[in-house]
């Protein structure tokens, strides 16, 4: 059909209609179309594509013919009506709900986004983290993704992923299970859940969160659309966490897009022998940051003061001793009893001080007296041995 623009040209409804047409005509991430939009505006580009203006530069005759054929078949008014019937809205640059960070994509940015769900996409995107990874993930990968999703949601972060099998689905379920917020960015129409096996999950995300996509209602996914979708995930969020990814994983495309955009890039390490973690380890050898839980992610992408707790091994009883008493305890050998003089020499103190410390240690159950000598108790042998093993 041809889009005839009358009095409404230039207002938000006219802009939305023109961009809805372009969403049907051009593929996501088309930088040539992005340049047309930047230089001429959506109305002029729509008029040219529907035969009411000049041929636009930068494409071959064959490509222009293909775009014109798509434009002739497009029916943006119908697409917008179908979207409304399914509870979907079309959000465009300039709208109050448009996330400004998507503009970082430049000419490769979306012409608009179809949004299914009640919350404001702009507000949710302000405090969001992407969790992505392998579709054919291991139990470890699914566990880590689910735990990260739940932990981030509990900390008030929106979990963004692609709705796919494996890591994506686990991250979404973790956030939903914690009663938190999650967004699925699809490579197809948001009214056509993909993969089909995740229809119930994606419907639940739409009820509790948001389902987002660049493609108009009913449109299907293709391999290239999956790859191009990942740039939206990267741009929409404050940072991207990769949980299990082989060397050629699409999750690495998301991570590298995040790096180009100046977003935080993180990786969850896996076994050194796992091919599914090889891509993550490659990222970690570069500029990505190693993370192991939601607290570490929040510390990196969050505001000042959102610090992860300090990590250390278990506190042992000997850790609570004063330094002088700890030196005396360390001077006792593991097996035989020794004299206070030998202990004092080993601890670098006087014999009287050593004796005083030994009685203190005996009251705490660390040492026992054998005649004129002193010896470690069984409890102390275990404690000292564990501590020496940590050094």
- Residue range 99-113, pLDDT digits in tens: 999 999 999 999 999
- Assigned domain for 267 exists: yes
C-alpha distances in Å from residue 215, one per residue of 29, 185, 192, 226: 11, 11, 10, 11
pLDDT value for 386: 47
Q: Are residues 208 and 94 in the same domain?
A: no
pLDDT in tens, 237-280: 999 999 999 998 899 999 999 999 999 999 999 999 999 999 99
CATH number at 137 reads: 3.40.50.450
The β-bridge relationship of strands 113-116 and 210-213 is: antiparallel
Question: How many domains is the chain partitioned into structurally?
Answer: 3
The upper half-sphere exposure of residue 211, i.e. CA atoms within 13 Å in the direction of its Cβ, equals 30
Structural domain span for residue 384: 317-390
Predicted structure pTM score: 0.79
* 328 within a domain of the structure (yes/no): yes
pLDDT at 126 (0 to 100): 93
Domain co-membership, 285 together with 382: no
CB 90 within 8 A of CB 113: yes
Report pLDDT for 367: 85
- At residue 313, the pLDDT reads 57
**Residue 213, H or E segment:** strand 210-213
Judge contact between 268 and 291, C-beta under 8 A: yes
333's tokens: 């050998």
88 and 170 within one domain: no
DSSP strand pairing (113-116 vs 88-91)? antiparallel
| CATH code at position 340 | 1.10.10.10
Burial class (CB in 10 A: 0-12, 13-18, 19+), 193: buried
Phi/psi-derived region of residue 371, left when phi > 0, alpha when psi is between -120 and 50, beta in every other case: left
The DSSP code sequence of 64-117 is: HHHHHHHHHH--HHHHHHHHHHTTEEEE-TTSTTS-GGGGGGGGGS-S-EEEES
Query: Is 349 a member of any domain?
Result: yes
Sequential pLDDT tens for the chain (391 residues): 445 444 344 578 899 999 999 999 999 999 999 999 999 999 999 999 998 888 999 999 999 999 999 999 999 999 999 999 999 999 999 999 999 999 999 999 999 999 999 999 999 999 999 999 999 999 999 999 999 999 999 999 999 999 999 999 999 999 999 999 999 999 999 998 899 999 999 999 999 999 999 999 999 999 999 999 999 999 999 999 999 999 988 999 999 999 999 999 999 999 999 999 999 999 999 999 999 999 999 999 986 455 556 566 555 566 667 888 888 888 888 778 889 999 999 889 998 888 888 888 887 788 888 888 888 887 666 555 545 444 4
What pLDDT was estimated at residue 9? 45
pLDDT of residue 384: 53
């Amino acid at each position: 059909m041809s889009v005839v623009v009358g009095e409404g040209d230039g207002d938000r409804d006219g802009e939305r209609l023109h961009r809805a047409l372009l969403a049907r005509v051009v593929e996501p991430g088309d930088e040539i179309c992005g340049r047309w939009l930047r230089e001429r505006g959506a109305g002029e580009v729509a008029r040219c594509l529907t035969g009411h203006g000049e041929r636009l530069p930068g494409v071959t005759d064959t490509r222009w013919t293909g775009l014109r054929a798509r434009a002739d078949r497009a029916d943006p008014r119908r697409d917008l009506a179908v979207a409304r019937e399914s509870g979907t809205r079309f959000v465009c640059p300039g709208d109050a709900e448009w996330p400004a960070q998507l503009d970082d994509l430049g000419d490769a940015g979306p012409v608009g986004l179809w949004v299914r769900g009640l919350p404001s996409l702009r507000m949710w995107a302000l405090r969001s983290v992407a969790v992505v990874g392998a579709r054919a993930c291991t139990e470890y990968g699914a566990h880590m993704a689910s735990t990260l999703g739940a932990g981030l949601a509990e900390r008030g972060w929106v979990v963004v992923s692609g709705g796919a099998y494996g890591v994506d689905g686990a991250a979404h379920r973790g956030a939903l299970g914690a009663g938190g917020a999650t967004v699925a960015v699809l490579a197809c129409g948001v009214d056509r859940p993909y993969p089909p096996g995740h229809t119930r999950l994606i419907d639940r995300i739409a009820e509790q969160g948001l389902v987002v996509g660049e493609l108009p209602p009913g449109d299907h996914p293709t391999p290239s659309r999956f790859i191009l979708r990942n740039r939206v995930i990267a741009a929409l969020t404050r940072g991207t966490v990769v949980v299990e990814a082989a060397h050629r994983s699409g999750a690495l495309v998301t991570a590298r897009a995040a790096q180009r955009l100046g977003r935080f890039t993180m990786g969850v390490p896996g076994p050194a022998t796992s091919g599914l973690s090889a891509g993550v380890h490659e990222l970690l050898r570069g500029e990505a940051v190693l993370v192991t839980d939601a607290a570490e992610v929040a510390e990196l992408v969050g505001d000042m003061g959102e610090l992860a707790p300090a990590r250390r091994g278990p506190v042992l009883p000997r850790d609570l001793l004063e330094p002088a008493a700890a030196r005396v305890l360390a001077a006792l050998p593991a097996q035989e009893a020794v004299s206070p003089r030998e202990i004092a020499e080993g601890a670098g103190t006087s014999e009287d001080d050593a004796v005083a410390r030994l009685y203190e240690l005996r009251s705490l159950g660390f040492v026992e007296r054998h005649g004129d000598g002193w010896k470690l108790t069984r409890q102390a042998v275990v404690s000292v041995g564990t501590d020496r093993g940590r050094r």
